[in-house]
Every structure is written in C-alpha cells, then in structure tokens.
Structure 1
Amino acid sequence: MKKSLIILAGIAILALASGQRPVHADLGADTMKCLAQTTLHIDGNFSEEEKNFLRETMGVRKQTLNGWQHNCVTPKEQFLQNVKENHQNGEDPVKISMIAATMANADGVVHDLERSLIEDMLEGFGKKRNAQPLLDLCISNITEEMEKKVNAIYLFRSSKTVYEEKRAEIPKNLKVIRVAEMAYESEYDVYVKSSAYPATPTKTRQQWNKSASGGFIIINFNPGDVRGSYMVSTTQSNFTATGISDVDGDGVYATYIATKSTNPTLITPPDVY
C-alpha cells in the first residue's frame, strides 16, 4: 500500500445498497482495499458468510469482492503505521475505524485477531483500546448517523479539523508578510513584489529555500517548511499578499489575501482547504 494516498473524492469504493454516496467514499482507494483485506483475512478465513454480508447488506459489487480474495501485501504492522500516518495527513479515523468494525462483524462473530486489529488502530489514533462500542454500532450499513455516534464516543479529530489546522498556516504567514511589507515601506517608501514561492502548494511540508524566495529575501520573510505558496503584488500605494494551500490534495486551492489595510481574509469557500 502506498504511504502517500490519493484521496478519491466522490468515488465510492463500497456502494451502499441504497445507492446513496457512502460516508467513506472519500477514503483513499489503497486504504480502503488494504483495510478490507487485512480485516477480512486476519482470522485466516474469508468466509462465505462474510462475502454474503458484504454483497447483500453492504451492497459490495462482485468485482470488488474478487479484489479482496487475497490478503493485503502490506504486513499488518506497516499497514497500521500507514493508517496512522495517513490520519495525520487528513484521512478520517472515524470512517476507517467504522469500516474495520463492520468487516469484523461481517460473519456474525468478532474473532480475537479482528478485535486486536481494531484495538491497534484505535491506539494508533491516540484512543483507548476499547473496540466494543465500535463493534456494537457497526453491524450493518454505515450511515452518517452512525458516524456521529462513533465520533461522540471516541472524540476523533475529523479530517475537517486536521485540514483546518494545516490551512491555518496561510493566514499566520500572511500576517508576518503584511507586517514586513509595511515596515519596509515605512523605511524605503516602496513595497516589495514577490513572485509565487514555492511555485505550488503541497499536501505535506516542503522546504523553504531562502536563497530562491525572490522578493521575500528583501523583507526577510523566512518561515521555514511550508505547505502553502505565497506571493505579493504591489502598486505605489498598496500591496496584496496572497497565500494558497491544498492540504487535502484535491487540486482545488484555498486562497487568502491581505493588504496594508486588511488582515488575511479567506476568499474561497470554507470547505476548500
């Protein structure tokens, strides 16, 4: 399983019988497949009961089930580490945990190895090794109401919270740029233009190379590793500092701007990260 997972927004890996978009549709394909394989095979038997449950209750297609015939090639320990790291990069622990619990319940019996796997996952998310509430809830189709109940019990940090925390880098750095531009102008009567640097925003941090940062060298802006991309356009009497981010990796950029008279302001929808 790849350690860096592509979030396939809008693509359902499991199609619910109702035809509605599953709550886990935005999990990475590699995460979903390896999670299913690991949970279903950990007791050594991908049984007919499990297949029937997944097909009839969860609406899993035959083609998908065929892809789960063999265990994930990633060892359990590495899989758990990958899940933990992917959570830190924004994948939703609520959905991952619910899917694992549903798979464990698929044949009507939760085996010790299945329970242990879920407990290991919970521990990786910083929670107590108490899988029972999760297993009690996740016995049928996964719904948004069920997701709310699980989150109320375990108090997971949602992917939305993770993304918002990472996006917060942008207004924080724009405040520094704004102060630096105003200080420079007060001394030299000119604002400093800076081309976009780094060239594009990234999901994970990238190194800020001061010597390559153009006009930011002049105003002594050197923030360290960043996820965002920053630029400054100028006129004789004003400047516009722009910061963009893509912390969820979907290719749609969140954008903040700041000027000499305005603090950093988000100008894209709040659910764009």
Structure 2
Amino acid sequence: MKDLLEVEFLQKLKEYGFEILTFKQLFKNIDLENHFMSKAHRIKFYHILYFSKALDYHFIDFKKYNVKDNCMIFLSKEQIHSFSKTTNYEGYIILFTDEFLKRNFLSLNDSIFNILLKPSILYDCKTDYKPIFKQLHDDYKSQYICKEKINSTLFNYIVLKASEDFNKQNKNTINDKYLKTFQDFKSILHENYYKNRNVTYYSNLLNISSKHLNTICKQITNQTAKQIIISYIILEAKRRLVSINSPIKQISYELGFIETTNFIKFFKKYTNISPSKFKEKNL
C-alpha cells in the first residue's frame, strides 16, 4: 500500500516562497484523470484559491466542498486536498511558504490560515477580488526592484479584506478577548493533542477554568472544548492513516494511545469505521 503523496514547494522558488498562477496556467498540459492534483495529497505549504467563475467542488481533509462564482478557499500546510477532474472554473491560485507568510503578513497568529478543524471558505465574495488578483499576478511577473514589497502589499490586502468578509459571513461578533483565547487554545491543542485529551489540562495551560473554556468554544464554534479536542484527534488520525505506510499500532502510539485497541475503539466510536477500513477506503 502506497503512502499518500506529500507535495513540497517548488525548489527553484523556495527562497522567495511565493507564486501566483491562473488555474489555466496551473492545469496547462495536464491530464487530471491521472495527475496527482486530482488525487488526495498533503500540502507542505499554504494555498489561496480564488474562483472567479466556478460550478464544481473541491476535496479538503476527506470532505467535499462546493465551489461557486466568487468563492475563495484558504488552505493551511499539512491539509489534505484534491482538485476535481473537470476543472470547471476560472480564477487564480496563490502558493506560499511559512517563511513568506512570517516575513510579509502583518498578523500571523489570528490569521485566516490559523485553521484547526475545517478550511476557511469565503462564499459569494462581496468584494470584487478579481482585479486585485490580476494586479498581483501581473506584478509577480514583473522585474520591479521592490517586487516583494509590492506583492506583499497586495497579498496583505487580500488576506485582511477576506478575513473581514469571512467574519461577516460567519457572523463572528465574538469579543476580541474570547477570540484571542480561542486562538491560544488552538495553538496549544496543535502542540499537545497527542499528550493529553483532557479539557482541564488545556484550561490550566490557558489559566482559565474548564467552564470558561467551554463557554468560549461554544460561542465561537458551537462545540464544547471536549468535542473540539476529539474532532482534532480524529482528523489527525485520518491524515496519518492515509499519509504514512506505518502500522496502526505505531500511529496509535504517536497519537497518545498506549493500547492499540483503545485507539481502534476511539476511532470507530466517532467515525463508525475502523482505522484499517478507513485507510483501505482512502488509498
């Protein structure tokens, strides 16, 4: 059984860490019936996909999402995704690395790329992003001395404006303090999910009560802190099951389960399928 393909950023562009293409350029001379882009693959860098015209779908972390006109998808590194085989859309794709994001984005911690359980998708964009993407695409191909600063300015505008539109779309009227605490919770969960699955462990690290953490999580996601922890472990388990050709025993140990049987029961309880069946189904 083959490992899931992991896609690295293009080596010749790695120092700059940024690229923007039209979908037409991306799919030029490619047979998507057989190409890796139409098969599930793990990305090691960030994506922004802007669909100016679309009536199609996109697979992200084992779920199918519809894409429509004026739709934007933000993907973080380590997510698993694939394009449809029809490419029934027009628009742009921006690819960039951690280093570019840290070097050029104003606020990394609370950005739209700080993804935990699902991708950030902006539907029916109220802002006309097409001329901005076109300008960024044109400037990217130029030979300006201050090319990175120009690209960075437009990139920041797109991300910050999209973040505002995304919050309005999702009616995010939570106060800033709650959002900051939730972002901190996401960060420490990402770092510690394999060590501890107890809500109290995370609330102690945040210096708040478990009750208060639950209140914050419920207001922002409509899920309890426990549900978020479980969902994240399940998602990470799915990613590992299809990404690496390791025995389930090893994967369960890496996820913090001493007994493999406990991991199998845990996974099946929340997915209604065994880890081995899930792996078989998705490879």
Q: TM over 0.5: same fold?
A: no
Superposition TM-score tier, normalisation by shorter sequence = under 0.3
How does the TM-score come out when normalised to structure 1? Answer: 0.26
Task: State the TM-score, normalized to the length of structure 2.
Answer: 0.25
Q: Which has the higher relative contact order, 1 or 2, with Cα contacts under 8 A spaced 6 or more apart?
A: 2
> Which protein is bigger by CA-based radius of gyration?
1
Q: Which of the pair is proportionally richer in strand? A: 2
